Chains A and B, each alone.
Chain A
Amino acid sequence: NAGVTQTPKFQVLKTGQSMTLQCAQDMNHEYMSWYRQDPGMGLRLIHYSVGAGITDQGEVPNGYNVSRSTTEDFPLRLLSAAPSQTSVYFCASKTGGRTGELFFGEGSRLTVL
């Protein structure tokens, strides 16, 4: 069972570069989300999606774009990376509605120089 798969696990960028963090789930979950985790800040929601073609902003959306063209995939794009975006990024998914259990990927550690 693959669950939630994130790639890459590690990435180093220079300021101003762009990149995409990939997230895929094989559980047919409607809800997918991206979090960042920073020391002392806990988990903060970046963007989320309640189904294909639907996305919405979370707590810290600035500097990030998302799209949801399929149920399985929810990529996170950094258009112009900044050192403040150095963090560990987690993708998570769950069944639709309010009652589902949230499952996380193993994380992507991003460093922006």
Chain B
Amino acid sequence: KQEVTQIPAALSVPEGENLVLNCSFTDSAIYNLQWFRQDPGKGLTSLLLIQSSQREQTSGRLNASLDKSSGRSTLYIAASQPGDSATYLCAVFEDSNYQLIWGAGTKLIIKP
């Protein structure tokens, strides 16, 4: 059974730092992996989608990588800003039951 783990559960860093959020999964037979952010009381916003054949995707200050063989993905945030404070979730899409399997999220706080 696929399991998705996000470490750390919470992270607090000063503004301006570069940081990495981690997502690991137990079964490499995935179609894609998607990173989301969720602000308190809000819905989920898609950040990056990486297909299984891709190694990385970039959007602005965000870069997501995927290593299927090791079951890992990282979300790199460059030059962090207080507006980046949110909970970041990753999810993998697998074929066995046409569902996304979710990590529990990393709560990120960027201190001004």
**Chain A residues in contact with chain B, CB under 8 A?**
42-43, 45, 48, 50, 56, 58-59, 90, 92, 98-99, 101-107
Contact (A98, B46) CB under 8 Å given A42-B102, A42-B104, A42-B105: no
B99 partner, pick from A58, A90, A104, A105, beta carbons under 8 A? A58
CA distance A102 to B89 in the complex (A): 13
CA distance A110 to B91 in the complex (A): 25
Closest 6 CB pairs of A and B: A98-B31, A106-B43, A104-B44, A101-B49, A104-B43, A107-B43
Kindly state the interface size class of chain B when it binds its partner: 20 to 34
Instruction: Check if B34 is an interface residue, CB within 8 A of chain A.
Output: yes
CA distance A102 to B104 in the complex (A): 17
- Whether A101 contacts B34 by the Cβ 8 Å rule is yes
Within 8 A of A (CB), among B57-108: 89, 91, 93, 95, 98-100, 102-105
Within 8 A of A (CB), among B27-68: 31-32, 34, 36, 42-46, 49, 51
A99 contact set on B, CB distance < 8 A: 31-32, 51
B34 contact set on A, CB distance < 8 A: 101-102
Contact (A105, B43) CB under 8 Å given A42-B105, A99-B31: yes
Contact (A48, B32) CB under 8 Å given A102-B46, A105-B43, A107-B42: no
